[in-house]
Amino acid sequence: MRRWIRPALIGLAIILAILAPVGQGNYITYVLTSWLIFSIAAMGLNLTLGYAGQISLAQASFMAIGGYTTALLTLAGWHWMLALPVALSFCFVVGLMLGYPALRVKGHFLAFVTLAFNTLVFLILRNEEWLTGGNYGLVGMPRPDFGLFSTMKQHHFYYFTLTITIVAAVIMWWIVRSPWGRAFKALRENPIRAESLGVDTRRLTLLAFAIGSTYGGLAGALVTPLVQFIEPASFGVAHSLRILLMVVVGGAGFFFGPFLGAGVVIILPEFLRFTEGYYLIIYAALVIVMLVFTPKGLIGLGALLRDRFWGKRVARGDLKQGAQLK
């Protein structure tokens, strides 16, 4: 691909993101804000799953941890910008802890452990009413106010979220292109070989969970002021599954996959209203069809079409090998 195409596309995408809510009502702006927030959560899971190859079904619980921490602190009068680092650090530490099982088990076992973790978080949020408000949740969290720029208006909050998303994306981009990113990919593709080359795979596995979880926490910290109401049911296993599907549908292991995947899950239903209740059926069926024909998601599909069009074939050596080893 020519060198200028990628920066040009990214620039265009940012301009589109800036222009998207212009002239739109509050509802569309709200949906776009949700899209950005879920993109952040999916970006984190993409690091854990797409780059480092560790499946997690607990991303929504980190949104919960980030969201509740921010909510409790902002309700106690902290500014959002001060509450954020606390929430993120907390998610980082809990994420590290969730990484420990991954040192012992892989694949479906890990999927179940993380799923169990998500449900446990849900139960704690619901039952520990003295802290979390239990079933009733927490309500009335203020939106951050930056003196001249208050985010009370829906459009303002969108631009606030967009700024955070871009910062988060730049940091993520830095991580995945750094030697760490290379080591994460090595962990995914061949952990034994990576270990034999001096890569501390234990530490990397933990980091993959911790960083991915921190992004989940960031998304949660943004949900709190967006909705101004949080309750345990918004962070159940179904939501973790939803984020996982965003990553997979967009293209796990591709930097822009989460944005595309979150777009498909959050924005596409708007255009498919006419399908009424059948939307989820169609969506689930398409996910299965996609996994059969192009396991690398929509971005993978794009690359496949481009290669076919331009005549360059990328051999799926890894998959062939995987099939042989099994």
> Interface residues for another protein in 183-222 (CB under 8 A)?
183, 185-186, 189-190, 192-201, 203
Integer CA distances (angstroms), 23 to 18, 35, 263, in order:
12, 18, 20
CB contact set of 313 (below 8 Å; sequence gap of 6+)? 307
Residues binding another protein: number (CB under 8 A): 92
Structure letter (DSSP) for residue 144: P
DSSP sequence for 10-58? HHHHHHHHHHTTTT--HHHHHHHHHHHHHHHHHHHHIIIIIIT----S-
Q: How far is the CB of 65 from another protein (least distance, A)?
A: 17
Provide the Cα torsion 93, 98, 100, 101; round to 10°. Answer: 170
Which of 59, 214, 224, 234 touches another protein (CB under 8 A)? 234
Residues 235-294 that bind another protein (CB under 8 A): 241, 244-245, 248, 253, 274, 276-278, 280-281, 283-285, 287-288, 291-292
- Does residue number 295 form part of the binding site for another protein (CB under 8 A)? yes
Q: How far is the CB of 118 from another protein (least distance, A)?
A: 9
For residues 148 and 288, which CB has a smaller minimum distance to another protein in the complex?
A: 288
Per-residue binding string, another protein, 112-141, x by CB under 8 A, is xx-xxx-xx--x--xx------xxxx-x--
**SS3 label, residue 79:** coil
Residues 6-35 that bind another protein (CB under 8 A): 25-28, 30-31, 34
Give 273's strand partners: none
Residues 34-53 that bind another protein (CB under 8 A): 34, 49, 53
d(Cα 239, Cα 237) in Å, to the nearest integer? 5
